[in-house]
Amino acid sequence: MTLLGRAGHIAALTFGAALLAVGCTDAEGLHAEESAAPATTPLALWEDTHPSPPTPGQSAGRPTPVPGVPKIPSGDMDQAVPLDVVKADVAEDARKDRGSARLVHPVAARKMAACSGTACPVREPVLHDLTGDGKDELITAVDIDGRMSELRVYTVKDQQVTRVLSRRAVLEGVEVAAGHLAVREPTTNPTYVSVSDYVWDEKRGGMFLEELSLDTCRAPERQGSPCPTEGT
């Protein structure tokens, strides 16, 4: 169970579950019911074609120091100016991208380069401890248009402001609890919401995906309807 749902409300996204139809289980193993579809093996597509590995600076998930912002000896992100951090980070990503849109959407880059103050499409910054060290991280997002946004999370590492998570998504919701940061996104099925659960990884120095699941209880399609009771 993820932090966002109760048992029975969130179904884990397992590839095998999507491809394998089986019936009841007993001590003798799996038995297909008469109504169950025949079990099939996955059909691999384009097995001989693989993407090139990202070069340094091309991975949005890689912890990246933000250039051009003052160092923070105290290690507290509340000492930083959030807008200055985001503008510097987006500008650096745009420079690295050279129009490829790997690290930042070109529209977001243009908007951030041309804006100032409250005119910038940056969501209200939130300070919350995600690393467990007693000091807050900075969580914010750049809105690209009326639907797509770029979620960004920053911490202080060796006095340097460092981006530890960058995620382009349709932010149906963002929640924090017990060191977890959960990103809720709509799916093509309106009764399901995808939930990406990120946690701090001390060894890699960033926020990384721990679990991907589906929430069937809190999807927009169910608004106003009671959630199923546990076990149903």
Of the listed ranges 4-8, 97-101, 147-151, 220-224, the one predicted with least confidence? 4-8
pLDDT at 74 over 50: yes
Q: Cα separation of 178 and 176, whole Å?
A: 7
pLDDT at 10 over 80: no
Nearest CA to 153 among 145, 71, 161? Answer: 161
pTM of the model: 0.76
Which pLDDT score, from 0 to 100, does residue 230 have?
A: 46
Phi, psi of 222 (to 5 degrees): -100, 5
- Going 223 to 225 to 230 to 232, the CA torsion angle's sign is negative
pLDDT digits (tens, 9 = 90+) for 53-62: 766 655 556 8
Nearest CA to 85 among 93, 73, 74, 96? Answer: 93
H-assigned helices in the chain: 15-19, 82-97, 106-114
pLDDT digits (tens, 9 = 90+) for 104-129: 999 999 999 999 999 999 999 999 99
Q: Cα separation of 159 and 142, whole Å?
A: 24
Q: Cα separation of 140 and 161, whole Å?
A: 14
Task: Give every CB contact of residue 140 below 8 A, 6+ residues apart in sequence.
Answer: 82, 86, 122, 123, 124, 125, 126, 151, 152
Task: Give every CB contact of residue 1 below 8 A, 6+ residues apart in sequence.
Answer: 7, 10
